[in-house]
Amino acid sequence: MDFKLLMVFVDQDKTDRVLNAARKAGATGATIINNAQGQGLRPHLTFFGLEFMAARSVLLILVEARRSSEVLEAVSQAGGLDESLDTGIALELDVNRALGLSEHIKALSKEYPLS
């Protein structure tokens, strides 16, 4: 079975919405890294001239390859990723090898049989 890793970077207040959309589109789970920080195209300065970096979440979603496009589109819509410069990003990576998935593959094969 082939897998893709979706990495989604969004503001923490969008995490649940993005996870729910991913699950509805066929994802079976995710690993969430909270309190991540990063910089975008331009710094967000406060009125004191200090840079403000809002708390972000990094969602790591391992999905079966044939479902990855649907899940990626769903998280993009749920997170509003194309609305402005600072809404977040999502990307898809090929997974060459993954271990510890034997039981997951059995469950996926029953729930989503190959047609």
The range of the structural domain enclosing residue 75 comes to 3-111
Helices 68-79 and 15-24 sit at what angle, rounded to 10 degrees?
A: 150
Among residues 24, 29, 93, which one has the least CA distance to residue 59? 29
- The total number of structural domains in the chain stands at 1
Beta bridge partners of 4: 63, 94
Beta bridge partners of 95: 3
pLDDT tens per residue across span 9-40: 999 999 999 999 999 998 988 999 998 877 66
| Separation between Cα atoms, residue 4 and residue 21, nearest integer Å | 17
pLDDT tens per residue across span 57-112: 999 999 989 999 999 999 999 999 987 777 889 999 999 988 887 877 777 777 76
pTM of the model: 0.82
Which alpha helices (H) appear in 1-115, and where do they start and end?
Answer: 15-24, 68-79, 102-111
The CATH number of the domain where 83 resides is what?
Answer: 3.30.70.120
Distances, alpha carbon 79 to alpha carbons 3, 14, 74, in Å: 22, 6, 9
For residue 77, the surrounding DSSP H or E stretch is helix 68-79
| Separation between Cα atoms, residue 26 and residue 2, nearest integer Å | 15
